[in-house]
Amino acid sequence: METKSSIARIVWSLTYITLVVIALRFAIAGPLHVRAAPQGQRKVVEEAFTVNPQIRVTKLKIANTPRNFKEEFDETDDWPRRLSLEIENISAKPIVYLQINLNFPETRLSGNLMSYPIRYGVRPGYTDPSSNQPLRLMPGDKLEISVNDHYEKLERFLRTRHTMNQINKAQLEVGFIIFDDGTAWAGDFLRPDPTKPGSYVPFSPTPL
């Protein structure tokens, strides 16, 4: 009986020590595991490549923090709301209409690229009751653009295919520019097509 009792005490002691070791390991590893837990994917804003650009982005901010293109940062799911930028007209002519596209590359997972246009000014030849206020951005002038002014429509647009926690990357693209002389730019210089009102055709401007 005494031998069995001794064996039982030894087994109990080993079990107790094992439980204590396991408890200590969890106590130590627990906080480390929390610290090492993967965070939400970081956000980033890129600038689309442009040939012969006519405007330049002079400032990019998330909330009140200046950022650089391709710089990763942490933000909440509604981070596009806090995106703002300043652009400068670096062309030789006043700009009367401007379209900036916000492209979301991750949406290609569900189909075509989703691109949201932000427009300023009035496009000649278009009669839209919801038209923007007239724009006249002179050479060297700058314009502040805040995505917060467009966020509700942008969010509804993206939610047709994606939740906001799936949107971690945005790309800024200059989509279309119209100058005060009627010519335009969309990667190439354009002029009105005389055979199709509202349409444009490429041309080579005379060097200044």
What predicted TM-score, i.e. pTM, was given to this entire model? 0.77
Tell me, yes or no, whether 151 and 123 share the same domain.
Answer: yes
The per-residue pLDDT for 125 is 75
For residues 46-61, give the mean pLDDT: 94
Query: For 112, what's the count of Cα atoms within 13 Å in the CB-facing half-sphere?
Result: 3
Average pLDDT, the chain: 85
The per-residue pLDDT for 149 is 95
Task: State the residue range of the domain holding 152.
Answer: 44-202
Residue 207 lies in a domain: no
Amino acid at 161: R
Tell me, yes or no, whether 83 and 157 share the same domain.
Answer: yes
DSSP letter string, 11-69: HHHHHHHHHHHHHHHHHHHHHHHHHHSPPPPPBEEEE---SS-SEEEEEEEETTEE--T
The per-residue pLDDT for 36 is 31
**Total structural domains within the chain:** 2
Residue 46 has pLDDT above 80, yes or no: yes
Tell me, yes or no, whether 31 and 60 share the same domain.
Answer: no
Residue 172 lies in a domain: yes
Tell me, yes or no, whether 19 and 122 share the same domain.
Answer: no
Tell me, yes or no, whether 8 and 67 share the same domain.
Answer: no
Percentage with pLDDT > 90 across the chain: 69
